[in-house]
Amino acid sequence: MTSPNTTQGAADPIQSYLDKGLRNYWYPVAPSWQVGDAPIGITRLGDQIVLWRDKEGKVRALEDRCPHRGARLSLGWNLGGSVACWYHGIEVDGGGTVVKVPAVSNCPLEGQQCVKSYPVEEHAGAIFLWFGDDAHKEPAPLKLPDELVGDEYANFVCMSNWKCNYQYAIDNVMDPMHGAYLHATSHSMAEGDKQADMRVRKTETGLMFEKIGQRDVNFDWVELGETGALWMRLAIPYQKKFGPGGSFGIVGFAVPVDENNCQVYFWRARKVSGWQRDAWRFLYRNRLEGLHWAVLEQDRYVLESMAPNAREHEFLYQHDVGVTRVRRMLRQRAQQHFAELDAYREQAAGAASATSATGHSHA
């Protein structure tokens, strides 16, 4: 079956891994407000996950599958430190250990850590999970861009569900040229040249992709960073009437849901403090947020209606160098993950055969 807006598919294992979602990164998986007392079930990178808040307000994340018969734990009850399955009441704590099997006495499942748990952090109004593969179970430190941490910027997070593979969302942000066309009648991207030469340069954490000779007029540059998470950053100039704070900063994440769906997170930030911060927050809520949604909907509309397997039949040209470069980088990461997983498995197999040869379990 041909799936909409995916890429070459299963013939190429690297591409098929990429289509599901590149692991070994932190990803935002839900805005903070979405996770309250009741457990919720989500799908990200093809994994079914249950989230809930414990008594201290800390978010817990487990594979959404009861170790007894596989019911979804997200249908169950939040007991604070643990979640109880609705079906027969098994209680699993935030680390994935079965703490109670109430329907029988002395069940051997009790005390076993048999449900996968995800490391969780909460920042800037969103919940981030670490999606490590077997060779990367320990999370990398997560360092978010300045717009999302500290007091210098005031930000709002906006999340949207898009019916396309996340790689299309990345391509879209790594393509500043579309601003002058797709968003030509918007409040912020009507100005500037309709043509540009683009260049890519390396930065400390990734790369910068920019128009040569035009800056602070339209969507003129975008940066890709890799700091435990894969983020994109851009700034769009703002007219004075849109209040204090200079350019409008955007930090974006494309989060795989499954091969045909993704979530996009865009933090919208301005460098403002004191009364200016209040003024901006008021203006954003009352006027700007609606304008930005209209722009984002243009992106969604185009991406969701692209031809099935659009990436197999495309003709890229000069202003697509950012797109090409990022695709190459993602492919390299995928290849690297395959190699690291192979090495990890070889090592594990070696350790297992050494154990069976000596009869010792501590090889």
Shortest reach from residue 101's CB to ligand FES, in Å: 8
- Write the secondary structure of the chain as one string of H (helix), E (strand) and C (coil): CCCCCCCCCCCCHHHHHHHHCCCCCEEEEEEHHHCCCCCEEEEECCEEEEEEECCCCCEEEEECCCCCCCCCHHHCEECCCEEECCCCCCEEECCCEEEECCCCCCCCCCCCECCCECCEEEECCEEEEECCCHHHCCCCCCCCCHHHCCCCCEEEEEEEEECCCHHHHHHHHCCHHHHHHHCCCCCCCCCCCCCCCEEEEECCCEEEEEECCCCCCCCCEEEEEECCEEEEEEEECCCHHHCCCCCEEEEEEEEEEECCEEEEEEEEEECCCHHHHHHHHHHHHHHHHHHHHHHHHHHHHHHHCCCCCHHHCCCCCHHHHHHHHHHHHHHHHHHHHHHHHHHHHHHHHHHHHHHHHHCCCCC
Q: For residues 64 and 223, which CB has a smaller minimum distance to ligand FES in the complex?
A: 64
Shortest reach from residue 181's CB to Fe ion, in Å: 10
Does position 115 interact with ligand FES (CB under 6 A)? The reply is: no
Segment contacting ligand FES by CB under 6 A, of 87-95, 138-146, 163-171, 256-264: 87-95
Given Fe ion, ligand FES, none, residue 299, with its beta carbon under 5 to 8 Å by kind, binds Fe ion
Does position 66 interact with ligand FES (CB under 6 A)? The reply is: yes
Q: 118 with 108: CB under 8 angstroms?
A: no
CA 314 to each of CA 162, 209, 309, 317: distance values in angstroms, whole numbers, following the listed order? 21, 21, 10, 10
Does position 85 interact with ligand FES (CB under 6 A)? The reply is: yes
Binding-site size for ligand FES (CB under 6 A) equals 9
Q: Contact with ligand FES (CB under 6 A): which of 88, 100, 163, 281?
A: 88
User: Using CB atoms within 10 A of its CB, is residue 142 exposed (0-12), middle (13-18) or buried (19+)?
Assistant: middle
CA 237 to chain centre: 26
Q: For residues 90 and 250, which CB has a smaller minimum distance to ligand FES in the complex?
A: 90
Q: For residues 51 and 66, which CB has a smaller minimum distance to ligand FES in the complex?
A: 66
Q: For residues 24 and 214, which CB has a smaller minimum distance to Fe ion in the complex?
A: 214
Q: For residues 64 and 147, which CB has a smaller minimum distance to ligand FES in the complex?
A: 64
Q: Contact with ligand FES (CB under 6 A): which of 9, 16, 87, 125?
A: 87
Q: For residues 88 and 143, which CB has a smaller minimum distance to ligand FES in the complex?
A: 88
* Site for ligand FES, residues 153 to 192, rule: CB under 6 A: none
Segment contacting ligand FES by CB under 6 A, of 64-72, 129-137, 159-167, 303-311: 64-72
Shortest reach from residue 45's CB to ligand FES, in Å: 24
Given ligand FES, Fe ion, none, residue 85, with its beta carbon under 5 to 8 Å by kind, binds ligand FES
Q: 140 with 228: CB under 8 angstroms?
A: yes
Does position 69 interact with ligand FES (CB under 6 A)? The reply is: yes
Q: Contact with ligand FES (CB under 6 A): which of 71, 109, 158, 321?
A: 71
Segment contacting ligand FES by CB under 6 A, of 62-70, 145-153, 171-179, 329-337: 62-70
Does position 100 interact with ligand FES (CB under 6 A)? The reply is: no
Mark residues 288-317: x for contact with Fe ion by CB under 5 A, - for none. Answer: -----------x------------------
Q: For residues 52 and 130, which CB has a smaller minimum distance to ligand FES in the complex?
A: 52
Q: Please give the residue ranges that form the binding site for ligand FES (CB under 6 A).
A: 66, 68-69, 71, 85, 87-90
Q: Please give the residue ranges that form the binding site for Fe ion (CB under 5 A).
A: 299
